[in-house]
Amino acid sequence: MEYILNSMMNVVVPPASMVMMAFAWPTLSFLRAAEWAVKTFFQEDMENKVVLITGASSAIGEQIAYEYAKRKANLVLVARREHRLFGIRENARILGARQVLVIAADVVKEDDCRRFVSDTISYFGQLNHLVNTASLGHNFYFEDAVDTSIFPHLMDINFWGNVYPTYAALPYLRQSHGRVVVNASIESWLPIPRMGLYAAAKAAVINFYDSLRYEVNDGVGITLATHGWIGGDMSRGKFMLEEGSEMQWREEKEVSLTNGHVGEFARMMVAGACRGDTYVKYPTWYDTFLLYRVFVPDVLGWTFQLLLSSPGPRRHSLLPDASIAAGRPLLLEAPPVGKPATTSPRRKPATTSPRRAE
């Protein structure tokens, strides 16, 4: 009986919903536009407010810091590479930031998160926006992984690295009726090959914050950014090498981005947060793929296979080399599709620790 009922619903509900949405669409669009205009007019004034940004040492986090600086906010910049944060602090001051605090910390360590939140409160006495940007991308076929010890690190940074700072900051955000701003990704609902663990962590992030949104109600705002490919360290071959509990990074390819998509996206994100938007999407036409995922998932599968898979033997992103023999996994940048596989890059270790003096 239940089977027959569900079979009938399968036939009736989708087309009926589509027709309903088609009729409601113009009215809903009008209401959303009106709401957007009102919120833009009454958007939050950030002057002298306090914004804590994790992952502020590069790309999107750095540009978000500059956007808040232009709005004359006080900033707390958090990442592990302290030397990069000092340069960003100078730029932020020039752009109009009131006071800028630099804190070297690892968002995967709960104690570090408690410390940077309590340092913020001790110094400024309040916290208005927490912006979670810390993240680590990857680009390898799951089956090619030669050491599974690297897996939890990707989940730790991309999921727990959002949860711990939020947990530590929530009591203070409640006091200030503040906001959590989170960088998720389009991969949270449109997973692509070679980014499975990243996509899984981002999906967890979205579900966690959408659930938290109901718990905190109107006490704390939550803005989720689900954007597509923008650029940044991730796209320039930043890789992760695990040695004990330390992370090492390849620094020579890293360049500070100050314009282009990253700057544009940061501007949109901060504007959306100050407007009180629930979601910030860039670019919005990617939403169309959601329809494909729901109604014709096979088409997406074929497209990814055509676009992203290469013929012939699979190229490895997680290659065994001398470091593997020494018991250390090495995560390398996968070569772009259509180009020959590169040889193992020479590693230039730059050991990081929660508080690193340069």
- Interaction site with ligand NAP (CB under 6 A): 54-55, 57-61, 79-81, 106-108, 133-136, 157, 161, 183, 185, 227, 229-235, 238, 249
| Nearest residue (CB) to ligand NAP, 81 versus 275 | 81
Question: Least distance in Å: CB of 254 to ligand NAP?
Answer: 8
Name the residue with the smallest CB distance to ligand NAP: 232
What distance in Å separates the CA atoms of residue 318 and residue 145, rounded to the nearest whole number? 5
| Nearest residue (CB) to ligand NAP, 127 versus 280 | 280
Q: Which is catalytic among the residues 66, 68, 164, 198?
A: 198
CB contact set of 280 (below 8 Å; sequence gap of 6+): 223, 224, 225, 226, 227, 268, 269, 272, 273
Question: Least distance in Å: CB of 277 to ligand NAP?
Answer: 16
Question: Least distance in Å: CB of 211 to ligand NAP?
Answer: 19
Q: What does the block give as tokens for 175?
A: 């006091």
Question: Least distance in Å: CB of 144 to ligand NAP?
Answer: 21
DSSP line for 220-285: SEEEEEEE----SGGGGT---EEETTEEE---TT-----SHHHHHHHHHHHHHHHHT-SEEEESGG
- On the 0-12 / 13-18 / 19+ scale of CB atoms within 10 A, 97 is buried
Closest CA to 325 of 312, 350, 344, 338: 344
| Nearest residue (CB) to ligand NAP, 324 versus 350 | 350
Question: Least distance in Å: CB of 230 to ligand NAP?
Answer: 4
What distance in Å separates the CA atoms of residue 337 and residue 313, rounded to the nearest whole number? 12
| Nearest residue (CB) to ligand NAP, 58 versus 166 | 58
Supply the DSSP symbol for 334: P
For this structure, is 209 an active site residue? no
| Nearest residue (CB) to ligand NAP, 234 versus 334 | 234
Q: What does the block give as tokens for 346?
A: 């020479």
- Cβ distance 80 to 56 under 8 Å? no
Query: Distances in Å between the alpha carbon of 159 and those of 77, 198, 250?
Result: 20, 9, 22
Q: What length does the chain have?
A: 358
| Nearest residue (CB) to ligand NAP, 46 versus 60 | 60
Question: Least distance in Å: CB of 79 to ligand NAP?
Answer: 4
- Cβ distance 232 to 200 under 8 Å? no
| Nearest residue (CB) to ligand NAP, 151 versus 229 | 229
What distance in Å separates the CA atoms of residue 81 and residue 196, rounded to the nearest whole number? 27
H or E segment to which residue 114 belongs: helix 110-124
What distance in Å separates the CA atoms of residue 182 and residue 245, rounded to the nearest whole number? 25
Q: What does the block give as tokens for 89?
A: 């602090």
What distance in Å separates the CA atoms of residue 149 and residue 112, rounded to the nearest whole number? 22
Question: Least distance in Å: CB of 23 to ligand NAP?
Answer: 34
**Residues with catalytic roles:** 198
